[in-house]
Amino acid sequence: MSGEEFTYDLKQVVEAALFVSEEPLRASELARVMPVGGGKIRQIMIELKQQYDSDCRGMQLLEISGGFKMTTREEHYPLLEKLFGRQTRARLSNSAIETLVIVAYYQPVTRAEVEGFRGVNSQSVLNSLLDKGFIRIKGRREEIGRPMEYATTEKFLDYFGLSSLNDLPDEDEVEMFALEETDDD
């Protein structure tokens, strides 16, 4: 810490950082600017999550993508929507969702494999998902042509509210989600 002195309550600082962060905040990110380690900050985040849950507040802390994110509780959405209008998040096309499902379940996966599942050229949708940060290039496959391998990112986990890939739903749930997304269009 370059000579700066922290003279305030650490728990309050962590709570304030969670409040202003638009993305899930990792303890290690906060530890880079704090006089304590990531383990201590993570413990504070867990305590805050438990406190928000036990106090039944209008806000909650969710553990997503390896970090914590402050959000409003789902039961308050109807009133908040009336007050502020519908807050929309980036919409994904059906082809983008279909491609993300393939990448998520079969990663690392090549473009040819994605196209084999989808039955159509998928280069533009893969490029779009790369540009939006939902997938990344993991490496190159050790085979003829050395095709690129794609994998999902933390933004993918955050967008779908998953803590890790272990939280992926089974195939039946994915089909239901895809139907819900199409019904909203």
Q: Please check the confidence at residue 174 and state whether its pLDDT lies above 50.
A: yes
Residue carrying structure tokens 């810490």: 1
**Cis amide bond preceding 108, omega within 30:** yes
Most confident of 22-36, 108-122, 153-167: 108-122
Q: In this model, does residue 1 exceed pLDDT 50? A: no
Beta strand extents in the chain (DSSP E only): 59-64, 67-72, 109-110, 135-140, 148-152
Which of 38, 57, 84 corresponds to the end of one domain? 84
The CATH code of the domain that includes 146 is 1.10.10.10
Domains identified in the chain, total number: 2
Q: Residue 27: inside a domain, yes or no?
A: yes
Is residue 106 scored above 50 in pLDDT?
yes
The CA-atom distances, in angstroms, between 149 and each of 56, 66, 137 are 44, 23, 6
Residue 3 lies in a domain: no
Quick one: pLDDT at residue 73?
83
Residue range 43-71: average pLDDT?
86
Domain stops at, among 27, 50, 84 = 84
30-34, 125-129, 139-143, 147-151: segment of lowest average pLDDT: 30-34
Is residue 122 domain-shared with residue 70, that is, in the same domain? no
pLDDT interval class at 147 (50, 70, 90): very high
Q: What is the pLDDT of residue 168?
A: 78
Res 124: pLDDT: 84
Phi-psi region of 175 (alpha: psi -120 to 50; beta: other; left: phi over 0): alpha
Q: Write out the residue range of the structural domain in which residue 106 sits.
A: 94-184
Q: What is the pTM of this model?
A: 0.52
Would you put residue 59 in left (φ > 0), alpha (ψ -120 to 50) or beta? beta
pLDDT (mean) for 82-86: 73
